[in-house]
Amino acid sequence: MNGKIINKIKFPSPNPHINLWIVTYWSYGLKIKGLLAEPKAEGTYDGLLYLRGGIKNVGMVRVGRIVQFASEGFVVMAPYYRGNQGGEGNEDFAGEDRYDAISAMEILRNHSKVTKGRIHSFGFSRGGVMALLSGILAKDLCTVVTWGGVTDMILTYVEREDLRRMLKRVIGGTPSKFPKRYKWRTPLYELDRLNAPVLIIHGVKDLNVSVEHAYRLEKRLKELGKPVESWYFEEFTHYFPPAINSDTLHKLCLWMKKQPLQV
């Protein structure tokens, strides 16, 4: 049932070589919406689970970004998460919505154009937590990539005063009152269960998600002897200039494709 597509509606594509669909799929009893992109050309491709940042309409899945990845030779599935764009349930923040990502992965596993065993997880900003959690829960991912990614939810609460009200509303309170709830949403504590190689991309001047998130992730992965590569950009913030952004996206796609299957 999880990952089963309920309906699939064609969506206008800005690229004549890429098909786009709005899909509704099952995720643990809820109907979840997402965007699916697939190259039109014959053949099979790596699958990419694209995990958006933000919450609600902030940081929503962008068609242009999904098409960029699909144009690099990926079938891309980007869940909107529960409670968004007509999907059922209430949006969580790296909580129960992790299962929407896992269910979306089933769509890629069952897709006729996805090469068996070749699925990657990519997360931007809040999506970084989601990508890491998906790698912890799903043992067969080829790679996990975080770009400007959150890795520590307590650190997010400390650093982002503007997000505290939202975090208290979604999670139920402060880290001091509910430390277990924040810890459950922090993948740093479960990285021993992660098998896939990790690529970390982060702007050192990032004020939305400080580079400390990346440093903590890299440090913990190295302590555990896990494969990790880091690309730090000293001069950039949370958002890269368009040309650098496109070049980095192309390079990370090449990096993902060269990684071997997980056994």
For residues 117 and 142, is the Cβ–Cβ distance under 8 A? yes
Distance of alpha carbon 145 from alpha carbon 251, whole angstroms: 12
Sign of the C-alpha dihedral computed for residues 92, 232, 74 and 140 taken in this order: negative
The question of whether 238 is a catalytic residue gets the answer yes
Distance CA 119, CA 102 (A): 12
Which residue type sits at 178?
F
How far, rounded to the nearest angstrom, does the alpha carbon of residue 219 sit from its chain's CA centroid? 21
For the CA atoms of 251, 257, 262, 263, the dihedral, rounded to the nearest 10 degrees, stands at -150
Distance of CA 144 to the CA centre of its chain: 8
Single out the residue of 255, 254, 214 nearest to residue 234, CA to CA: 214
For residue 201, what are its two tokens? 């991309």
Determine which one of 13, 27, 103, 125 is catalytic.
125
DSSP class of 237 = -
**Whether the Cβ atoms of residue 248 and residue 236 lie closer than 8 Å to each other:** no
Helical residues (DSSP H) of 188-241, grouped into ranges: 211-223
125 as an active site residue: the answer is: yes
The DSSP annotation for 39-75 comes to ESSSS-EEEEEEE--SBTTBTPPPHHHHHHHHHTTEE
Tokens 């952004």 correspond to what residue?
A: 245
- Residues acting as catalytic residues: 125, 238
